[in-house]
Structure 1
Amino acid sequence: MVSDIEIGRAKRARRAYTFDDIAIVPSRRTRDPQDVSVSWTIDAFTFEMPVLAAPMDSVVSPETAIAIGRLGGLGVLDLEGVWTRYDDPEPVLAEIRALPQAETTRRLQEIYAEPIKPELVTQRLAEIRAAGVPVAGALSPQRTAELSDTVVGAGVDLFVIRGTTVSAEHVSKTTEPLNLKKFIYELDVPVIVGGASTYTAALHLMRTGAAGVLVGFGGGAASTTRTSLGIHAPMASAVADVAGARRDYLDESGGRYVHVIADGGLGTSGDVVKAISMGADAVMLGSILARAEEAPGAGWHWGAEAHHEELPRGHRVEVGTVAPLERVLFGPSSAADGRTNVIGALRRSMATTGYSDLKEFQRVEVVVAPYTRS
């Protein structure tokens, strides 16, 4: 039963929790980590690990999308990033990494003002497809209608529509909003859409026919959404709320299962574990993968919010480089800070609490036990 907190006589609020506020409780049974399955399936695709690489220029290039695909995950390419604006994005990435802090936002706005070239969208996706791994590309809701035919024509396997907050009921007096239900119905590929951070918003997105819903609000390591807009949705509560919408939509639809993908607030392996425990089927990782040696950001991390032409809501942040991509995901780890061997940590947590697969692990017992990271 949820009880509101009185902030003042005119306003009440619900208490919500971040991943730092909760902890997982061991049960009476344990398992060997090698006996645990961390695979998951969405539509016709089965992946060996529940990891999607976030569509951010500092995280995913065609090369890293291929590498992540070969490791058993899914790399999602930002189809509004430097890869589709510049024939050779490497000098641009090098410039971004070297920018003085005071000039970063203005220069990012200039760099990302370069028009998107549809032929580069086709070319970049073709590079990934040629490697024989699943192909995924992401567009914002504002660009989806304009470029969707190009993306589908290029042979994408999974289409991601990703924004800070995506609504199934966008209202505008000046532009024709994207009709998500009509768009998804007419599309020949499964669609993952988000972010959503409340039960109601997620339920509406599920009713559009989406195969998956991203849970988040633009609140990752490089975001200043809370500072700029005052918007923040603590991720533990957000994932649990959207998982509740999935459960109710399963009954409402007569058995249609929509996958819940946590997208934000995932800085360590422990956060990944807790996202699954709250009901996520998979996680979309940004800063964790930006620390890999192969990441295009080379130790720097930024998202689309950092170069918004009117109201930037993010920074370029230095996350450092810790290990090759395979070690970030599968270890071995040489540090005890949760930044490497992410999948190994998930396996061990599941084994320690006695669960054999991700669906079972969603039922693990948790407690509210806030702590402050050092």
Structure 2
Amino acid sequence: MSNEIPIGLAKNGRRAWALDDVAIVPNRRTRSPQDVSLEWQIDAYSFSMPVIGAPMDSVMSPATAIALGKLGGLGVLNLEGLWTRYENPEPVIEEIVALEAKEISPENTRRMQELYAEPIKPELITARLEEIREAGVVVSGSLTPQRTQEFYRTVVDAGVDMFVIRGTTVSAEHVTQQGDPLNLKEFIYELDVPVIVGGAAGYTPALHLMRTGAAGVLVGFGGGSATTTRRALGIRVPMATAISDIAAARRDYLDESGGRYVHVIADGGLGSSGDIVKALAMGADAVMLGSTLARAEEAPGRGWHWGLEAVHPDFPRGHRTRVGTVAPLEEVLWGPGHHADGTSNLMGGLRHAMAATGYVDLKSFQRVDATVSPTTGV
């Protein structure tokens, strides 16, 4: 059955759904929330919740990556961010936070571009990852595809446990006429650590990424609250459909590979516990959180949120956006919550949703019934 609908005489388009367009449905059986397990394992690493901290300077510092790890999640440090450009990035972060209180400001963008023009220092990559390792949590760092060839050896030599290659759109082979292309299949084969790669927003590109040997695929396209990709590039893939499509690619690759399971990780547009619930219900194994964790009191952005897209030297497609501060990180994730809008006790919300629909583990919860009720959500 085709979901294509006519846009005009010359073009058809596929009907797709955002997370706001879908909802889960209770069935005849319910459970006690205390019986629900949120444990998640990828490769050899186990976590007590399916949460990855997005590699964004407003979300993850070495300290918050450590804190998230101790709370049962995985913190990913942005290895192209301020922590690897400056020995002491705190004054730089304070300057960004203190910029004029406008989300869309050419002056703010210009100043942030200047601050991020400071070169990345390999010795700081090593030092930051070592700081995380000394805390006894899983060590993970992220590079964009454009920087991976340049710095990956430094990252691996520093003893990273899990490597993330994250961009707006990532393909199995990045083709370029300037320099050598990044062939992910060859690259991942040579590494001794599991690699999470993305974003991908459709069945075919995700299937190709799975064939590279990746341990996980990020579902997203730079569509979170701090980006303007939709306006700047005209790219938008509603997340409910994207997650479901890539979950289908995971299923087909499982058969194709003779049993190799690749984790699907929703990345972007997950602003509340309800969004996390629906992302997992659509087939995600875990979620990568940006703005939801940027609201924690410990977050480096102090209530402001931005990503690398906002500081691109030639074509910025993001901005510093105000998300506010909700609660300490532990309360944001595990509660007890004091907010009725799904911004605190995120895991409590997930546990209660699973219990209300009769599921006690994350994998079985992917079978939950869903309805479609279109809204104007994104």
Counterpart of 1:214, as a letter, is L
1:208 aligned onto 2:212 = yes
1:158 aligned onto 2:153 = no
Indicate if the aligned counterparts of 2:87 and 2:124 stay in contact, CA closer than 8 A. Answer: yes
Counterpart-to-counterpart distance in 1, 2:138 and 2:352: 27
1:67 corresponding residue in structure 2? 67
Counterpart-to-counterpart distance in 2, 1:111 and 1:55: 18
Deviates more, 1:11-20 or 1:329-338: 329-338
Counterpart-to-counterpart distance in 1, 2:334 and 2:191: 35
Counterpart-to-counterpart distance in 1, 2:169 and 2:244: 17
Indicate if the aligned counterparts of 2:250 and 2:261 stay in contact, CA closer than 8 A. Answer: yes
The offset of 1:310, in angstroms, is 0.7
Which consecutive residues of structure 2, in runs of 5 or more, have no partner in the other structure? Answer: none
Counterpart of 2:290, as a letter, is G
**In structure 1, the residue corresponding to 2:142 is in which secondary structure?**
strand
1:12 corresponding residue in structure 2? 12
Counterpart-to-counterpart distance in 2, 1:258 and 1:372: 32
Counterpart of 1:15, as a letter, is R
Indicate if the aligned counterparts of 2:5 and 2:14 stay in contact, CA closer than 8 A. Answer: yes
Indicate if the aligned counterparts of 2:266 and 2:284 stay in contact, CA closer than 8 A. Answer: yes
Counterpart-to-counterpart distance in 2, 1:256 and 1:244: 14
1:246-257 mapped onto 2 (5 Å cutoff):
246-257=250-261
1:326-337 mapped onto 2 (5 Å cutoff):
326-337=330-341
1:243 aligned onto 2:247 = yes
1:282 corresponding residue in structure 2? 286
2:151 corresponding residue in structure 1? 147
**In structure 1, the residue corresponding to 2:333 is in which secondary structure?**
helix
The offset of 1:372, in angstroms, is 5.4
Deviates more, 1:229-238 or 1:171-180: 171-180
Counterpart-to-counterpart distance in 1, 2:42 and 2:157: 21
Normalising by structure 1, we get a TM-score of 0.99
Counterpart-to-counterpart distance in 2, 1:182 and 1:168: 10
RMSD (Å) for aligned C-alpha atoms: 0.8
Counterpart-to-counterpart distance in 2, 1:290 and 1:319: 7
Counterpart-to-counterpart distance in 1, 2:238 and 2:134: 39
1:89 corresponding residue in structure 2? 89
> How many residue pairs were aligned?
373
The offset of 1:54, in angstroms, is 0.0
1:306 corresponding residue in structure 2? 310
1:129 is aligned, of 130, 133, 138, to 133
2:197 is aligned, of 190, 193, 197, to 193
The offset of 1:332, in angstroms, is 1.3
Counterpart-to-counterpart distance in 2, 1:372 and 1:310: 32
1:168 is aligned, of 162, 166, 172, to 172
Counterpart-to-counterpart distance in 2, 1:58 and 1:242: 28
Indicate if the aligned counterparts of 2:173 and 2:182 stay in contact, CA closer than 8 A. Answer: no
2:373 corresponding residue in structure 1? 369
2:99 corresponding residue in structure 1? 99
Counterpart-to-counterpart distance in 2, 1:308 and 1:342: 31
Counterpart of 2:168, as a letter, is T
1:39 corresponding residue in structure 2? 39
Q: CA offsets, 1:133-175, max 9 Å, x none?
A: 0000000001111111110111100000000000113222223
**In structure 2, the residue corresponding to 1:8 is in which secondary structure?**
coil
2:55 corresponding residue in structure 1? 55
Which consecutive residues of structure 1, in runs of 5 or more, have no partner in the other structure? Answer: none
1:21 aligned onto 2:25 = no
Counterpart-to-counterpart distance in 2, 1:349 and 1:161: 31
Counterpart-to-counterpart distance in 2, 1:49 and 1:329: 9
The offset of 1:264, in angstroms, is 0.7
**Which structure 1 residue ranges, 4+ long, deviate > 6 Å from structure 2?**
none
Indicate if the aligned counterparts of 2:229 and 2:317 stay in contact, CA closer than 8 A. Answer: yes
Q: Percent identity?
A: 72
Counterpart-to-counterpart distance in 1, 2:21 and 2:178: 42
1:258 is aligned, of 251, 255, 262, to 262
Normalising by structure 2, we get a TM-score of 0.98
Q: CA offsets, 1:259-312, max 9 Å, x none?
A: 000001101100000000000000000000000000000000000000001100
Q: CA offsets, 1:197-242, max 9 Å, x none?
A: 0000000000000000000000000010000000001000000000
Counterpart-to-counterpart distance in 1, 2:175 and 2:159: 31
1:350 is aligned, of 320, 341, 354, to 354
